[in-house]
Amino acid sequence: MSVSIKTAHEIDLMRESCRLLEIVHDELAKAIKPGISTKDIDLLGEKIIRSFGCVPNFLNYNGYPASICVSVNDEVVHGIPNKHRILREGDIVSLDAGLIYKGYHSDAARTHAVGEISPEAQQLIDVTKQSFFEGIKYAKAGNHLHDISGAIGAYAEKFGYGVVRDLVGHGIGTSLHEDPQIPNFAQKRRGVRLMPGMTLAIEPMINMGRPEVCWLDDDWTVVTEDESLSAHYENTVLITDGEPEILTLTK
Ligand code: MF3
Ligand code: CO
């Protein structure tokens, strides 16, 4: 395993890739309303990405057939947009998006409420987001990668939630998925030592119920085995000499 260290120039390109992706997410967030189809969300996302002269990095990745992963309720990640899948009041929806700018990838996910949702569902969304922030408290040069993993998992488990084990975050740069893998729960080993210039996609996937997941027959959509709700929150993060820079969250 080798973790790439980006040069100052590469970091500038990563920053721009991520800044543009943040705009995509901000625009998609405004479009989330009861009545929109998951396909409409995908088409809008792809249109915005291409309007920047960028390329959606998920499209055709290992055969994935869309630009935005749209995962509703008990769908954890990699939901496939469909014009017949209409969002309804009370749903939660996870949007995972990424793009390529001048050869550099960005990757981020947000989970949104559709109209009014239950307090329990809102707590799941909030805790999933906060687990990311608990994790990146440890995203400092000199610490070890799994310090982040342990902090994410410990926070989410305090609420009785199931931390997904079968999917992980990852390094990112000239490829969408680079070393290292980034689990969202405590590990036996410490993992690589963090160094300035590493760019990492940290992405807790948290279930209201048990941690187990399974794959639908479309070979993509990951769902919770117990059909409980699931939330996802992800940013591309730069390790620096000081505080981490959250490249896909600048505002
Ligand atoms: N954001 C996802 C990840 O981190 C990417 C989805 S893979 C795709 O791995 F194939 F569905 F695009
Ligand atoms: Co990712």
107-121 pLDDT, tens digit per residue, is 999 999 999 999 999
Cα of 155 from ligand 1 centre, angstroms? 24
* Residues 92-104: tens digit of each pLDDT: 999 999 999 999 9
* Residues 194-233: tens digit of each pLDDT: 999 999 999 999 999 999 999 999 999 999 999 999 999 9
- pLDDT for 1 equals 84
Which atom from ligand 1 is nearest to the alpha carbon of 58?
12
Number of domains in the chain: 1
* Residues 133-143: tens digit of each pLDDT: 999 999 999 99
Which atom from ligand 1 is nearest to the alpha carbon of 97?
1
Asked if the structure places residue 251 within a domain, the reply is no
Cα of 223 from ligand 1 centre, angstroms? 15
- Phi, psi (rounded to 5 degrees) for 31: -85, -10
Read off the CATH number of the domain in which 71 is found: 3.90.230.10
- pLDDT for 251 equals 86
**pLDDT at residue 89 tops 90:** yes
Centroid of chain to Cα 127? 14
Spatial CB neighbours of 12, under 8 Å, sequence gap ≥ 6: none
Asked if the structure places residue 46 within a domain, the reply is yes
CA-proximal residue: ligand 1, atom 4 (nearest): 169
61: Cβ below 6 Å to ligand 1?
yes
Asked if the structure places residue 1 within a domain, the reply is no
Asked if the structure places residue 197 within a domain, the reply is yes
- CA dist 172 and 25 (Å) reads 18
**pLDDT at residue 244 tops 90:** yes
